[in-house]
Amino acid sequence: MKSFSVSDLDRKDIYSLIISLIAPRPIALVSTVSRSGIDNLAPFSYFNGIGSNPASLSFSIATKEDGSLKDTAKNLLETKNCVVNFVTEDVFEAMKLTANDFEANIDEFSEAKLTKLPSDLIKSMRVKESIAQFECELIDLMNVSNRLESLLEHSILGFNHKLEPGSGNLAVCRIIKVHFSESILRDGTNHKIDALKYLPIARLGARHYLKSSIDNFIQ
């Protein structure tokens, strides 16, 4: 058994241990929109549900090496809504493309050749090719560092304010509308998903992914 104090490891090693051991992780392909109307897409696998009352989920956006926020976090602070698009084989290759660090003025739907589908209740676009989407409103965005602060409360500091590199910015969102393809509906029901039909792709450590397959299901 190998044991390390976190204080003896550098940040890149800690990152690698976290993503290798907390696995497999679901992937949220998150679309947001800036105040000036530029649509953005990026995948996040520090992602999970929180509760059903209110219907809520969270994902965590790491602070960049220079202490600045990724576009997804900036857009959330500006417009306070997002769509979580779910990842199956249909959008897997495009999802990886959207992880590139594009300039904020680049529309990542066109870069990834994905089709925009307007949301019913919010400004952020849905990904038409994605098998399911949640329309969400931001409840809070919390920077998890030594200083524990809510970015929403402190957004007055402006985007020049530097955060701890690698610190997580936890987006907590209320799910306000759900869309999913009839192809994953459980027979005889109106809003239940058939676990044997929905085949999500999950992220493992490094650049590895896990493909769900009927042959691998256990009970």
Ligand X SMILES: Cc1cc2nc3c(=O)[nH]c(=O)nc-3n(C[C@H](O)[C@H](O)[C@H](O)COP(=O)(O)O)c2cc1C
The answer to the question of residue 71 lying near ligand X (CB under 6 A) is: yes
Closer to ligand X by CB, 94 or 184: give it: 94
| Least separation in angstroms between CB 213 and ligand X | 19
The answer to the question of residue 126 lying near ligand X (CB under 6 A) is: no
HEC string for the chain: CCCCCHHHCCHHHHHHHHHHHCCCECCEEEEEECCCCCEEEEEECCEEEEEECCEEEEEEEECCCCCCCCHHHHHHHHHCEEEEEECCHHHHHHHHHCCCCCCCCCCHHHHCCCCEECCCCCCCCEECCCCEEEEEEEEEEEEECCCCEEHHHHHHHCCCCCCCCCCEEEEEEEEEEEEECHHHECCCCCCCECCCCCCCEEECCCCCEEECCHHHCCC
The answer to the question of residue 42 lying near ligand X (CB under 6 A) is: yes
Closer to ligand X by CB, 73 or 184: give it: 73
The answer to the question of residue 62 lying near ligand X (CB under 6 A) is: yes
| Least separation in angstroms between CB 62 and ligand X | 3
The answer to the question of residue 39 lying near ligand X (CB under 6 A) is: no
Chain positions contacting ligand X, by CB under 6 A? 27, 40, 42-46, 60-62, 70-72, 96, 99, 101, 203
